[in-house]
Structure 1
Amino acid sequence: MTQAPTETGTARPGAQEPDGTTPAAPPRGRRRVGRWIAGGTAVLLLAAGGTGYWLYRGLDSNIKGVDIDHAIGDDRPQRLPTSGQNILVLGSDSRAGANAALHAGKVAGARSDTALVIHIPEGRRRAVAVSIPRDTLVTRPACTTSTGRKLPAAHRVMFNSVYSLAGPACVVQTVEQMSGVRMDHYVEVDFAGFKDLVDAIGGVTLTVDQDIHDGASGLNLSAGTHRLDGTQALQFVRTRHGIGDGSDLGRIGLQQKFLTALLAEIKKQDLLGSPAKAYAVADQLTACLTTDSGLASLTRLAEFGRSVRGVDPSTMETIMLPVRYDTQDPNRVVAARPQAGELWQALRHDSPVPEAAKHSPAQGGPTP
């Protein structure tokens, strides 16, 4: 059975969005994606380790846990034979409840347009973040949804539809099947909580090189330096129509800029010197997290945060999964061979990623 994609994917000339507008073609050049969520994860984990559960054990109740191991069962890749770790990180956008008020448009359901496999090799002094484009066509394995409904396997489904239809365990199962890489942990960051986190630290200062006016997100910034509150920050990381050619890749560039500024802000504030503010930030951090059951407590998050303290997010290598445009639908992409296979093999063996596996055949845009 073929599952219809839930989102408009990579645009080609002449393609139209559901609202009838024509999306711009993606930009050329090397595409390094996902640093924003990778950096955000580092913030979440390190802040959890820094503030500590000794402040308020009640923060445990904020963290939502998913029993990934139970949901998937034993049909999974082997764990790394080293001390390396693989973490699947998703950014979720539910379009319901608190998130509903954060959108200019009306889009129903839950989405996860940002997905990263973060590989931390043995020694835990560096990290590699592999971004999976949302419009990649994949095979979804037979799986059980979050509500217990059985879903049959489906071919050529868009990657970001798996979360919407089946939930986090099935996303983990899909990634493991396509990569052969065992996910040791799962971390999901909710965008509504992201907004509150920025407000909790008092805003984030960043500089933009050009005016940004995006009617879809509501963001209006002139070129220069600005102090963004939570609402503006969320608009900033979502905007795409007001920057570059209007593609999702332009938005990713803004996300990278923002998370760099967020990391610098948290480091500058010395939260350990202000227990009251540290608690407020920890409260927002934990409230926007869903993790696998192995991390679903402040104690476990703190332990994990300490174990990866040597990783500097600013030196994290970010790689887009090598993809090529699909021959049947140029609005979609598929994993490129042999590059994708070489990338996943490097992660499976805890070895450096070959240079050839860091480049995507789809860099130059769809073939006419």
Structure 2
Amino acid sequence: MPDRSTTPSAPRGVARHGRLRRRGPVRMLLALVAGAMAVVLVSGVSVAAIAVRTATSGVQTVSLGNEDEVAGVDISAIQGGANILLVGSDERDDGSQVDAGEVDGIRNDVTILAHLSADHTQLTAVSFPRDLMIDVPECVGEDGQVYPAEDYVQFNTTLGRGGLSCTVKTVEGMTGLAIPYAGKITFDGVIEMSNAIGGVDVCVTRTIRDTDSGIDLAAGTHPLQGAEALAFLRTRHGVGDGSDIARISSQQVFLSSMMRKIISGGTLGDVTTLYKLASAALSNMTLSSTLNSPDTLVRLALALKDIQPAGIVFIQYPVVDDPRDSNRVVESTTDAAALNAALNADEKFTLGDDSAGRGSVADGTAPVATTAPAAPEATSTPSDATSGSAAPADPAATAAPTTTLPSTITGQSAAEATCSVGSSR
């Protein structure tokens, strides 16, 4: 999509998708792999198989219209890479545990693309700012209404235009990736998942106080779970400069800490905790029909059962301030092109030395997990990785090259211990 601060980029084709069968949940996705995919993507196969086969029995599904992109195979680790879009919206069910205030429309206020590399050693989680102004493709709404393609539309309105499939279609057009898997998670799911693992330790550099989300934390390290964890993840005015960009990097502090606990803190060896985590995530999700299959979930679990924190990278989609509106952002053409090229080529990459976001800083008191991703025994071609479909691995293939992204692209790996930069309102 064009960067309105520079020059337009070439248009990309997008796949056609079906309509989302509406379900009333969710306001925002706050747990990426840390929640639904924590078990689905990083647990041991036996526990994952039992958990997902039970937990998915009542999960609602939605057709993305591209089921032919996912081939059915025997139960084994998915071969090649995969792309999964996880979103949350302003919808929520009656009887929810969460009082999220007045709902104004249906929005995807948090959208995260999870890209699994073809050799299964790197998982990249790309967060898209809600205030990003983009060009959207034609979409069909849940009521059958056709929304024509339109320029200069706020990103978080795509869910309301045509459901989950419209958000998928939009991100496909922005990145050039095929995204056959997608899901939404509820507020209640975030609460239950944080409870299931006994909370997440979060470092705060100075007081976080936000009357909107209800969070009030003094400087220091806090074990967050339940409604308090949700309030931390929701806060915008309580971190950094009060922007959505700052909130994204603050959320990455939480998600990284959660992944370290799940992977390195013994969670994967606790069958009871794993089952609770899987049930909490999946019982509060709406999944695409391609992702709802227990076999698919187990294959994804197998693919990432040995992932290490250093192999999980959280990135904010590159943006710059919108010259038309200081409260909005637009795509940074050069940086977005670099990121999308790396994802499409299935390159291994690291972030620059100065990649901290607006809402986080390095925790100088904590040791950094240094375990590097294991060298792969086999890998698939980049085209297999970006399609999300299963493809035979080539035992003779070498590991993908490693590149360093521009320092202007912000984020962190799950191995990095970071702190949220507090502010008060």
TM-score by length of 1: 0.75
Q: Is the 8 A contact 2:252 2:314 kept in 1?
A: no
User: In the alignment, does 2:344 pair up with 1:295?
Assistant: no
Q: Is the Cα–Cα contact under 8 Å of residues 49 and 301 in structure 1 kept in the other structure?
A: no
Whole-Å separation in 2 of the counterparts to 1:56 and 1:159: 32
**Shift in alpha-carbon separation, 1:117–1:226, aligned structure 2, 3 A:** closer
Tell me, yes or no, if structure 1 residue 359 matches structure 2 residue 408. yes
Partner in structure 2 of residue 330 of structure 1: 326
Alignment partner, residue 111 of structure 2:
115
Distance 1:143 1:261, change over 3 A: same
C-alpha separation in 2, matches of 1:55 and 1:132: 30
Normalising by structure 2, we get a TM-score of 0.65
Residue 217, structure 1, aligned to residue 213, structure 2: yes
* Counterpart pick for 2:173 among 164, 171, 177: 177
Q: After superposition, what is the alpha-carbon deviation per residue over 1:59-88, rounded to whole angstroms, capped at 9, x for unaligned? A: 2223232211259x99xxxxxxx9232222
Root mean square deviation of aligned Cα: 3.1
Change (3 A) 1:204 1:322: closer
Deviation at 1:331, TM superposition (A): 2.4
2:335 touches 2:406 (CA, 8 Å); kept in 1?
yes
Question: Which of the two has greater helix per residue?
Answer: 1
The aligned runs of 1:179-328 (5 Å cut-off) are 179-267=175-263, 268=265, 270=267, 272-275=269-272, 277-328=273-324
Q: 2: CA distance between counterparts of 1:196 and 1:92? A: 18
Kept in 1: contact 2:58–2:283 (CA 8 A): yes
Residue of structure 2 equivalent to 1:17: none
- The 1:288–1:349 alpha-carbon spacing in structure 2 relative to 1, beyond 3 Å, is same
Q: Measure, in 2, the Cα distance between the counterparts of 1:290 and 1:201.
A: 22
Q: Could you tell me how far apart the structure 2 residues matched to 1:206 and 1:337 are?
A: 33
Partner secondary structure for residue 332 of structure 1: strand
**C-alpha distance in 1, partners of 2:243/2:140?**
33
Q: State the alpha-carbon separation in 2 of the partners of residues 330 and 134 from structure 1.
A: 14
Structure 1: tracts of 5 or more residues without a match: 1-33, 75-81, 362-368
For the residue of structure 1 that corresponds to 2:110, the secondary structure is strand
The alpha carbon displacement at 1:314 in A equals 4.2
1:144 aligns with 2:157: no
Shift of 1:286: 1.0
Between 1:295-304 and 1:83-92, the stretch displaced more is 83-92
Alpha-carbon separation, structure 2, partners of 1:132 and 1:63: 26
Residue 346 of structure 1 is matched in structure 2 by: 342
* C-alpha contact (below 8 Å) 1:139/1:156 kept by paired residues: yes
| Contact 2:48/2:301 (8 A) holds in 1 | no
Task: Indicate the percent of aligned positions where both proteins have the same amino acid.
Answer: 32
Does the Cα contact within 8 Å between 1:86 and 1:182 map onto a contact in 2? yes
Contact preservation (8 Å) 1:213, 1:221: yes
In the other structure, the counterpart of 2:6 is none
How many residues align structurally?
318
Unpaired stretches in structure 2, ≥5 consecutive residues? 1-28, 70-78, 350-402, 411-425
Determine the structure 1 residue equivalent to 2:38: 43
State the partner residue of 2:74: none
Q: 1:69 to 1:48 in 2, by over 3 A?
A: farther
